[in-house]
Amino acid sequence: MSLEKILAWVPDGSAAAALARQVDYLRLPGHVAVIMDGNGRWAAQRRLPRIEGHRAGIDAVRDAVEVCARLGVEVLTLYAFSVENWKRPRSEVRLLMELLKRYLRLELDTLMRNDIRLHVIGRAGELAPDVREELAAGCSRTAGNGGMRFNIALNYSGRAEIVEAARRALAAGMAPRDLDEARFSGLLYTAGQPDPDLLIRTSGEMRVSNFLLWQIAYAEIWVTDTLWPDFRARHLLEAIVAYQKRDRRYGGLKPEPAAVGQ
Ligand code: FPP
């Protein structure tokens, strides 16, 4: 059972354990997507180079992956590197890629132990060959796992994804009348996956930053001031508890409570 799996992992008597008991395990978000933000500010607060913020952010990645897998979330998507992130100093980009490779090498056993399937969304073909190799190794090693799908968004842009999907439809010779929302969804990187139910953003920024623009149409957005390197199990559980209190109407009306005796 999910609660037991979480309680086996968080410290007894902790805030995370208390929150885990508040979660309704029958109404979990199927897909949780996260905009990991605030690594640079975390480092600046400690007068450290920015890369130390990214390095510390890896611990938060580990926590998020483990907690979501133990909860029983179907899909977790982490926004690790956007198309726009190439504008950062070369040294920062290089170190981010090194951290990613290191994460993949060191965490493969954790992914296997938790039955997690790794998947990359974004223009992975434009990444450096050594990064592509590490990603391919991680994806193929975990391909047979049947548990949570873990999408890493890399060299990702929501707008570019939509344009690519439109190009694929045209290249396949699809007639306009044959294209509908379901078919279009099937042309995106996330084909076959449920859309995010919950979008988390850290560091207090109120932006979606070109992330999963099509897929988040009805996602519930939860923003925390916590900077990504400080994000832990309790924050994720807090987001899920808050999500479960939301009234999701998908543009419709709240159903009337059934009349007594009906
Ligand atoms: C945003 O913080 C964070 C990033 C651009 C990179 C996130 C990457 C990692 C945590 C490491 C690799 C990820 C995986 C999945 C292994 P920022 O630098 O924009 O922070 P700031 O807004 O405070 O400057």
257 pLDDT band (50/70/90 cuts)? low
pTM of the model as a whole: 0.95
Burial class (CB in 10 A: 0-12, 13-18, 19+), 152: buried
Q: Choose one of 32, 34, 35, 37 to mutate for the ligand 1 pocket test, by most ligand atoms within 8 angstroms of C-beta.
A: 37
Catalytic residues: 37, 85
Residue 85 Cα, ligand 1 centroid: separation in angstroms? Answer: 10
In angstroms, the CA 164 to CA 235 distance is: 34
CB 155 within 8 A of CB 124: yes
* High-pLDDT (> 90) share of the chain, %: 93
Rg (CA), the chain: 19
In angstroms, the CA 128 to CA 95 distance is: 13
What tens digit of pLDDT does each residue of 64-122 get?
A: 999 999 999 999 999 999 999 999 999 999 999 999 999 999 999 999 999 999 999 99
Ligand 1 atom at minimum distance from 82 CA? 5
Residue 53 Cα, ligand 1 centroid: separation in angstroms? Answer: 8
If you average pLDDT over every residue of the chain, what do you get?
A: 95
Q: How far is CA 227 from the centre of its chain?
A: 16
Determine which residue's CA is closest to atom 7 belonging to ligand 1: 80
Helix (H, G, I), strand (E, B) or coil at 218: coil
Residue 186 Cα, ligand 1 centroid: separation in angstroms? Answer: 29
Dihedral sign for Cα atoms in the order 195, 142, 222, 99: negative
Ligand 1 atom at minimum distance from 229 CA? 10
Ligand 1 neighbours, Cβ below 6 Å, are 36-41, 54, 57-58, 61, 78, 80, 85, 99-100, 103, 152, 203
Ligand 1 atom at minimum distance from 60 CA? 10
| Beta bridge mates, 78 | 34, 152
In angstroms, the CA 99 to CA 106 distance is: 10
For the chain, how many residues are written? 262
Residue 211 Cα, ligand 1 centroid: separation in angstroms? Answer: 14
Q: At 261, which amino acid appears?
A: G
Residue 57 Cα, ligand 1 centroid: separation in angstroms? Answer: 7
Torsion of CA 181, 71, 119, 182, to 10 degrees: -10
What tens digit of pLDDT does each residue of 140-171 get?
A: 999 999 999 999 999 999 999 999 999 999 99
CB 82 within 8 A of CB 18: no
262 pLDDT band (50/70/90 cuts)? very low
